[in-house]
Structure 1
Amino acid sequence: MRNTRAAAVIGALSLFAAACGGSTDTGSGRTADGGTFTFSIRADPGALDPAMAVLSVTNSVLSFAYDTLVYYGPDGKIVPGLAEKWDVKPDAVTFTLRKDVTCSDGSPLTPSDVAGSVNHITDPATKSPLNGVTVPVGMKAEADDAAGTVTLSTPKPFSFILENAPQIFVVCGKGAKDRSVLARGTSGSGPYTLTEAAPSDHYTFQVRKDYAWGPGGATTKESGQPDKIVLKVVPNEQTAANLLISGDINGAVIYGADRARLEATPGIGKLVISAGNGQFFYHQGEDRPAKDPAVRKALTQAVNLKELAGISSSGTGRPATGLVMDPRPCPGDSVTGHVPAFDEAAASAALDAAGWKAGPDGVRVKDGSKLTLRLLYGTTKGAGVQAAAEYLAAAWKKAGADVTLNGVIDTKLSESLTATQDWDVVWLPIGVTLPTQLEGFLSGPAAPKGANFAHLANDRYQKLVTEAVGKPGEEGCKLWLESESALFEDADLVPVVEDTVLVASKNAKFSIVAGSVAPTTIRMTEAG
Structure 2
Amino acid sequence: MKKTLAVALALALTATACGSSDEQDDKSEFAENGTFVYAIPADPGELDPANAVLGATNTVLAFAYDTLVYSDADGKIVSGLAEKWEAQADKVTFTLRKGVTCADKSPVTPQTVADSMNYLSDPKNKAALLGVLIPAGMTATADEAAGTVTLATKDPNPFLLESMTAVYVVCGEGLKDRSILKDKTSGTGMYPLFTSVANDHYAFKARADYAWGPGGAKHEAGMPAAVQLKVVKDESTAANMMTTGELNGAQFTGADRKRVEAIPGVRKGSAPDGIGEFFFHQGDGRAAAENKVRGALVRALDLNELRAIASGGDPVPATRLISLAPDPCRGDSVTGNTPPADPGTAATLLDETGWKAGTDGVRTKGGEKLKLRVAYQTSAGPGVQAGMEYIAQKWKALGVETELVGSADAKYADSLFKDGDWDMAWVPLGLSLPTQLVGYLSGPGPDEQGSNFAHIRNPGYEQLTAEAAKKVGASGCEQWTNAEAALVENVDVVPVLRPTQLVASKNAMLEVIGGVVRPTSVRMLKN
What range is the shorter-chain TM-score in? over 0.9
Residues 9 and 15, structure 1, Cα contact 8 Å, conserved in 2: no
Q: Name whichever of 465-474 and 41-50 sits farther off.
A: 41-50
Partner of 1:293: 291
Q: Name whichever of 379-388 and 326-335 sits farther off.
A: 326-335
TM-score (norm 2): 0.92
Change (3 A) 1:182 1:292: farther
Partner of 2:328: 329
After TM superposition, the structure 1 = structure 2 runs for residues 274-313 of structure 1, keeping only pairs within 5 Å, are 274-313=272-311
- Aligned AA for 1:451? S
Quote the offset at 1:169 in angstroms.
1.2
Change (3 A) 1:394 1:126: farther
- Aligned AA for 2:286? R
Change (3 A) 1:335 1:45: same
- Distance in structure 2 (CA, Å) of the matches to 1:372 and 1:113: 57
- Aligned AA for 1:291? A
Change (3 A) 1:328 1:351: same
Residues 14 and 55, structure 2, Cα contact 8 Å, conserved in 1: yes
Residues 43 and 199, structure 2, Cα contact 8 Å, conserved in 1: yes
- Aligned AA for 1:167? A
Change (3 A) 1:218 1:475: closer
Partner of 2:34: 35
After TM superposition, the structure 1 = structure 2 runs for residues 225-264 of structure 1, keeping only pairs within 5 Å, are 225-264=223-262
- Distance in structure 2 (CA, Å) of the matches to 1:208 and 1:464: 47
Q: Name whichever of 479-488 and 164-173 sits farther off.
A: 164-173
Q: Which runs of 5+ in 2 are unaligned?
A: none
Partner of 2:484: 484
1:465-508 CA-partner distances (Å, limit 9, x unpaired): 01001112333221111100111112111011121221111111
Residues 25 and 508, structure 1, Cα contact 8 Å, conserved in 2: no
- Aligned AA for 2:469? V
Change (3 A) 1:186 1:363: farther
- Distance in structure 2 (CA, Å) of the matches to 1:242 and 1:504: 13
Change (3 A) 1:6 1:481: same
- Aligned AA for 2:268? K
Residues 8 and 54, structure 1, Cα contact 8 Å, conserved in 2: yes
Q: Name whichever of 318-327 and 293-302 sits farther off.
A: 318-327
- 1:132 and 2:131 matched: yes
The correspondence for 2:312, drawn from 291, 314, 318, is 314
Quote the offset at 1:260 in angstroms.
2.2
Quote the offset at 1:28 in angstroms.
7.6
- Aligned AA for 1:487? L
Partner of 2:96: 97
- Distance in structure 1 (CA, Å) of the matches to 2:125 and 2:419: 23
Residues 14 and 273, structure 2, Cα contact 8 Å, conserved in 1: no
Change (3 A) 1:80 1:344: same
3-state SS of 2:230 partner: strand
Q: Which runs of 5+ in 1 are unaligned?
A: none
The Cα RMSD (Å) is: 2.4
Quote the offset at 1:14 in angstroms.
4.8
Partner of 1:166: 165
- Distance in structure 2 (CA, Å) of the matches to 1:387 and 1:250: 32
Residues 97 and 111, structure 1, Cα contact 8 Å, conserved in 2: yes
Partner of 1:222: 220
3-state SS of 1:496 partner: strand
- Distance in structure 2 (CA, Å) of the matches to 1:16 and 1:259: 17
Partner of 1:411: 410
Change (3 A) 1:446 1:199: farther
Quote the offset at 1:277 in angstroms.
1.5
- Distance in structure 2 (CA, Å) of the matches to 1:241 and 1:13: 23
Q: Name whichever of 13-22 and 48-57 sits farther off.
A: 13-22
Q: Structure 1 vs Structure 2: percent identity of aligned residues?
A: 51
Residues 460 and 483, structure 1, Cα contact 8 Å, conserved in 2: yes
3-state SS of 1:164 partner: helix
Q: Name whichever of 352-361 and 228-237 sits farther off.
A: 352-361
Residues 91 and 153, structure 1, Cα contact 8 Å, conserved in 2: yes
After TM superposition, the structure 1 = structure 2 runs for residues 38-437 of structure 1, keeping only pairs within 5 Å, are 38-219=37-218, 221-325=219-323, 328-437=327-436
1:251-299 CA-partner distances (Å, limit 9, x unpaired): 1111133222222332100012222211111222324332222222221
1:214-268 CA-partner distances (Å, limit 9, x unpaired): 112212x323222332222223222222211111111111113322222233210
Q: Name whichever of 385-394 and 187-196 sits farther off.
A: 187-196
- Distance in structure 2 (CA, Å) of the matches to 1:190 and 1:253: 23
- Distance in structure 2 (CA, Å) of the matches to 1:372 and 1:117: 51
Change (3 A) 1:464 1:319: same
1:342-376 CA-partner distances (Å, limit 9, x unpaired): 11122222222223233454333333333232222
Q: Name whichever of 415-424 and 335-344 sits farther off.
A: 415-424
- Aligned AA for 2:248? N
Displaced runs of 4+ in structure 1, greater than 4 A? Answer: 11-16, 24-28
1:33-66 CA-partner distances (Å, limit 9, x unpaired): 2232121222333332222222333222221121
- Aligned AA for 1:153? A
Change (3 A) 1:137 1:523: same
Residues 464 and 483, structure 1, Cα contact 8 Å, conserved in 2: yes
Partner of 1:452: 452
1:142-198 CA-partner distances (Å, limit 9, x unpaired): 122343210012234432332222121112222223323223332221112223444
Change (3 A) 1:113 1:231: same
- 1:494 and 2:471 matched: no
Partner of 1:511: 511
Name the count of aligned residue pairs: 525
- Distance in structure 2 (CA, Å) of the matches to 1:331 and 1:27: 29
Residues 329 and 474, structure 1, Cα contact 8 Å, conserved in 2: yes
- Distance in structure 1 (CA, Å) of the matches to 2:301 and 2:501: 25
Residues 280 and 494, structure 1, Cα contact 8 Å, conserved in 2: yes
- Distance in structure 1 (CA, Å) of the matches to 2:195 and 2:285: 49
1:399-451 CA-partner distances (Å, limit 9, x unpaired): 22222222223333333332333322221223333212211222223226223
TM-score (norm 1): 0.92
- Distance in structure 2 (CA, Å) of the matches to 1:159 and 1:16: 23
After TM superposition, the structure 1 = structure 2 runs for residues 7-26 of structure 1, keeping only pairs within 5 Å, are 7-11=6-10, 14=13, 17-19=16-18, 23=22
Quote the offset at 1:314 in angstroms.
2.0
1:5-32 CA-partner distances (Å, limit 9, x unpaired): 1123324765763226674689982222
Residues 417 and 453, structure 1, Cα contact 8 Å, conserved in 2: yes
Quote the offset at 1:338 in angstroms.
1.1
- Distance in structure 1 (CA, Å) of the matches to 2:290 and 2:249: 47
- Aligned AA for 2:493? L
- Distance in structure 1 (CA, Å) of the matches to 2:41 and 2:24: 21
Residues 324 and 432, structure 1, Cα contact 8 Å, conserved in 2: yes
3-state SS of 1:192 partner: coil
